Amino acid sequence: MRAIFVGGLTLALAGCSLAPTLQRSDIVAEPSACIAKRFEVYFDEGQARLTETARQAIGLTATQLQGCQIDKVQVIGLADASGAANANQSLSERRAVAVAEALRAAGWPAPAFDVGAVGDEGATTASGVNEPMRRRTEVLVEASPRG
């Protein structure tokens, strides 16, 4: 044992010779890419066509999950409160389908999809302000490592 004097305190230091030898792999594990992910795909006002940014978001997530087992994909289309409720419902459905089709084209398994839409439900704030951030589709992915 070794003692050192620091700022009026005496500290005893024990040697590390009895401590087990740890490898970096014992301490730091690489995180699995095959985990649940959530991302959003935004649309232009009144549109259900994917923008280049939307295609990039889909492609990035597809790349991140490459080699994973895709267990379930939930795609939920939304719309803002501009326009009639039935038109917003239709728009949000078309948005969800556009995203699901792009994911299928990226190689994701079609049976894993649950596609839905909520239209403009909840698209205004408590003070009655239209929420433009609702012009999107939410994608929730459940993935696991391939066994």
Instruction: Give the domain CATH number at 89.
Output: 3.30.1330.60
Q: How far apart are CA 18 and CA 23, in angstroms?
A: 16
Average pLDDT over residues 28-49: 83
Q: Domain for residue 10, yes or no?
A: no
* Pairwise CA distance, residues 77 & 41, whole Å: 9
Which tokens go with 76?
A: 């939920």
Does a structural domain hold residue 68?
A: yes
How many domains are contained in the chain? 1
Mean of the pLDDT values across residues 55-74? Answer: 89
Say what the pLDDT of residue 13 is: 46
Q: Among residues of the chain, what percentage have pLDDT more than 70?
A: 71
Note the pTM of the prediction, 2 decimals.
0.72
Which residue range is the domain that position 137 belongs to?
A: 33-124+131-145
What confidence score (pLDDT) does residue 122 get? 64
Closest CA to 143 of 95, 71, 93, 75: 71
Provide mean pLDDT across the span 14-33. 56
**pLDDT on residue 22:** 56
Beta strands in 14-146 (DSSP E): 37-42, 68-77, 113-117, 136-145
Residue 74 lies inside a defined structural domain of this protein? yes
